[in-house]
Structure 1
Amino acid sequence: MDTAEAMLCALVVLIILVSLLSNVLVLICFLYNPEIRKQVPGLFTLNLTFCNLLLTVSNMPLTLAGLVNNGVPGGHGVCQTAGFLEIFLSTNSMLSMAALSIDRWVAVVFPLRYHSKMRHRDAAFVLGYTWVHSMSFSTVATCLSWVGYHKVYASCTLSNARASHRTQFVIFTVFFHAFTFLLSFVVLCVTYLKVLKVARFHCKRIDVITMQTLVLLVDIHPSVRQRCLEEQRRRRQRATRKISTFIGTFMLCFAPYVITRIVELFPAVPINPHWGIVSKCLAYSKAACDPFVYSLLRHQYRKTCSDIINRVLKKRSSQNATGPGPRQNQGNCIPSAE
């Protein structure tokens, strides 16, 4: 194993640890806080967390084993199952992100009709579609034996070892990425850009009202006026920053891998194995980013984490306070010398 492969192994281990800890923390918050469970986006977040956790414990360790052993991790059956899960879980996670963006769009654009348009029943229907969509592509690829160990990516994933089915495999690969990555990306862009447009409109209205108030309050202290103007600027930047994070992390993590898989379909273009593994690691890193992008950086989840930590600390402190006191003389039944 050379230095580059050792660094890639360390990167995979880091992604596994961060993804496992962060997604488990999101799951604990979901189970602890009943308010999060009542919200419709919580179902999409739970489905995304489930996909990320399963991908972390099933596919990432096999990729690490493939890097270390420089060969197929496990037997043929294990690799087939891992490849099926990789296609299913990656597709499901992309569609879950698209579902979250649709939920945000409905909440911002139709705030008064949100509870009638996006109920738990509607969310369950959307999740049912994501599962059927994901299961269809993974089942077709497995039944046609287009799932196996791919040396370029050191993982069990979409692969074709038979030259006779090359045309069908190319069509399936293009169709698969068009209806998973491209479809999710288009939904993300359309919905979040509409959300940004509405958010900027509301910010503009608030800014006009604030400026009118500042003009009327001629005796206002300059420091207060400056704080109001700074709050206006932060409000405008906050919405742009959040939406850029949603779309940017999606593209940064998935686009290199998808583009590499499409370029790979042209035999005249060789793919460097190190780059193939890097692109796979970037795709895996989305499972580690999602808990922070969609959950842990939100106020509700931060407060839940703080409540859990405080509860654990209070429980420990109470156990220490009620523990055994200083040892006393237990020889009272023995007569004293007096």
Structure 2
Amino acid sequence: MDTAEVILSVLVAVIIIVSLLSNVLVLICFLYNPEIRKQVPGLFTLNLTFCNLLLTVSNMPLTLVGLVNKGQPGGDSFCQIVGFLETFLSTNSMLSMAALSIDRWIAVVFPLRYHSKMRHKDAAFVLGYTWAHSMSFSTVATCLSWVGYHRLYASCTLSNPRASSRTQFVIFTVFFHSFTFLLSFIVLCVTYLKVLKVARFHCKRIDIITMQTLVLLVDIHPSVRQRCLEEQKRRRQRATRKISTFIGTFMLCFAPYVITRIVELFPAVPINPHWGIVSKCLAYSKAACDPFVYSLLRHQYRKTCTDIINRLLKRTRANPSTALLLCRKMLLCFVYRVPTTTHQCSELAVRTMSNPA
């Protein structure tokens, strides 16, 4: 093995470890917190987590073996089963991300009708479509013997060694990536951009209330005013950062691999074998990123992880930040007119600084 192959082998091993630990942690949070289990998005997250876990334990180790041994791991029948799983799980993962984006779009754009538009049976119907979609493409590829060991990616995946069915394989590959990757990408862009538009509108309204509050509180301490302004700035940036993360990680991880599979259909275009492994590693890295992007960085999952750790260490959970709590109390003070005077609001700020609880 040359230096590049050693680095790629280490990279695959790191992806396997991170993906396994992070997805298992999401499952633990899901089982520990009943509130997460009651929520409709939890079904999509659970499906995505299971797909990532199965991909981690079934395909990634065999890719590592194929990269180290420079050959097919196991016999042809075994490789076809693994290739079927790889096609099914990767497709299901992409469609699960699209389903999560649709759920967020309904929750943000139609908040009052969310519980009537997205019920558990509706989520089950969407998951049924993702499974049927994924099963149909992977079954067709397996039945037509278009699944096998591919040296360019050192893994069992879509492959057509026969020249007689090359045209059909090209058509199938284009349709497959169009109705999985491209469809999921379009859904992500449309839904999340609408979510971002609504989020910016609400942030603008909150900013107006915050500025009116700070103007009325003429005797507020400058440090408290500065922290409130910083919280206002972070709130404006939070929505854009989250939307960019959802769409950016999807494109960064899947686009190089899909583009490589399309370019591969043209024999006249040479592809570096190391690049084939790199693109496959990027696609695998999405399984390691998803737990953080969709679950572990959210407040509810962070709180659940903290509760689990505190329960193991027999500690009590820390109180929230004093400055953040003060900003929230002042906003409530002026939005709901309780207390009714500026002097009383100032007294509330003093009491909050002295007693955050």
Same fold, TM exceeding 0.5?
Answer: yes
After superposition, what is the alpha-carbon deviation per residue over 1:210-263, rounded to whole angstroms, capped at 9, x for unaligned?
222333333333333322221221110000011111111000000000000011
Question: What's 1:334 paired with?
Answer: none
Question: What's 1:76 paired with?
Answer: 76
Question: Secondary structure of 2:165's partner?
Answer: helix
How far residue 305 of structure 1 moved from its aligned partner, in angstroms, is 1.4
Is 1:278 the counterpart of 2:263? The answer is no
After superposition, what is the alpha-carbon deviation per residue over 1:158-214, rounded to whole angstroms, capped at 9, x for unaligned?
011011111111111010000000000000001000000000000001111222233
| Alpha-carbon separation, structure 1, partners of 2:215 and 2:3 | 64
| Alpha-carbon separation, structure 2, partners of 1:41 and 1:119 | 10
Q: Which amino acid aligns with 1:47?
A: N
| Alpha-carbon separation, structure 1, partners of 2:303 and 2:223 | 31
How far residue 302 of structure 1 moved from its aligned partner, in angstroms, is 1.3
Question: What's 2:303 paired with?
Answer: 303
| Alpha-carbon separation, structure 1, partners of 2:44 and 2:62 | 27
Root-mean-square deviation (CA, aligned residues, Å) is 1.2
Question: What's 2:183 paired with?
Answer: 183
Superposed, 1:212-291 pairs within 5 Å as 212-291=212-291
Consecutive unaligned residues of structure 1, counting only runs of 5 or more, are: 316-338
Work out which of the two has the higher radius of gyration on C-alpha atoms and give 1 or 2.
Answer: 1
Question: Secondary structure of 2:148's partner?
Answer: strand
Superposed, 1:1-338 pairs within 5 Å as 1-314=1-314
| Alpha-carbon separation, structure 1, partners of 2:180 and 2:156 | 19
Structure 1 residues 144, 11: closer, same or farther in 2, change over 3 A? Answer: same
| Alpha-carbon separation, structure 1, partners of 2:212 and 2:50 | 49
Question: Secondary structure of 1:160's partner?
Answer: coil
How far residue 76 of structure 1 moved from its aligned partner, in angstroms, is 0.7
Question: Secondary structure of 1:4's partner?
Answer: helix
Q: Which amino acid aligns with 1:190?
A: V
| Alpha-carbon separation, structure 2, partners of 1:114 and 1:207 | 26
Structure 1 residues 123, 223: closer, same or farther in 2, change over 3 A? Answer: same
| Alpha-carbon separation, structure 2, partners of 1:258 and 1:9 | 21
How far residue 314 of structure 1 moved from its aligned partner, in angstroms, is 3.6
| Alpha-carbon separation, structure 1, partners of 2:66 and 2:220 | 67
Question: What's 1:326 paired with?
Answer: none
| Alpha-carbon separation, structure 2, partners of 1:204 and 1:314 | 42
Q: Which amino acid aligns with 2:19?
A: S
| Alpha-carbon separation, structure 1, partners of 2:209 and 2:53 | 46
How far residue 88 of structure 1 moved from its aligned partner, in angstroms, is 0.2
After superposition, what is the alpha-carbon deviation per residue over 1:14-70, rounded to whole angstroms, capped at 9, x for unaligned?
000000011011111111111111000000000000000000000001101101110
Question: What's 2:318 paired with?
Answer: none
| Alpha-carbon separation, structure 2, partners of 1:177 and 1:187 | 14
Question: What's 1:332 paired with?
Answer: none
Q: Which amino acid aligns with 2:119?
A: R
129-138 or 224-233: which moved more?
224-233
Question: Secondary structure of 2:59's partner?
Answer: helix
Q: Which amino acid aligns with 1:8?
A: L
After superposition, what is the alpha-carbon deviation per residue over 1:89-118, rounded to whole angstroms, capped at 9, x for unaligned?
000000000000010001101111111111
How far residue 310 of structure 1 moved from its aligned partner, in angstroms, is 2.3
| Alpha-carbon separation, structure 1, partners of 2:7 and 2:216 | 62
After superposition, what is the alpha-carbon deviation per residue over 1:308-337, rounded to whole angstroms, capped at 9, x for unaligned?
22222349xxxxxxxxxxxxxxxxxxxxxx
Question: Secondary structure of 1:161's partner?
Answer: coil
| Alpha-carbon separation, structure 2, partners of 1:75 and 1:270 | 28
| Alpha-carbon separation, structure 1, partners of 2:216 and 2:31 | 50
TM-score normalised by L of structure 2: 0.86
Question: Secondary structure of 1:250's partner?
Answer: helix
| Alpha-carbon separation, structure 2, partners of 1:188 and 1:180 | 12
| Alpha-carbon separation, structure 1, partners of 2:218 and 2:177 | 59
Structure 1 residues 301, 272: closer, same or farther in 2, change over 3 A? Answer: same
Q: Which amino acid aligns with 2:107?
A: A
After superposition, what is the alpha-carbon deviation per residue over 1:275-316, rounded to whole angstroms, capped at 9, x for unaligned?
00000000000000000111111111111112222222349x
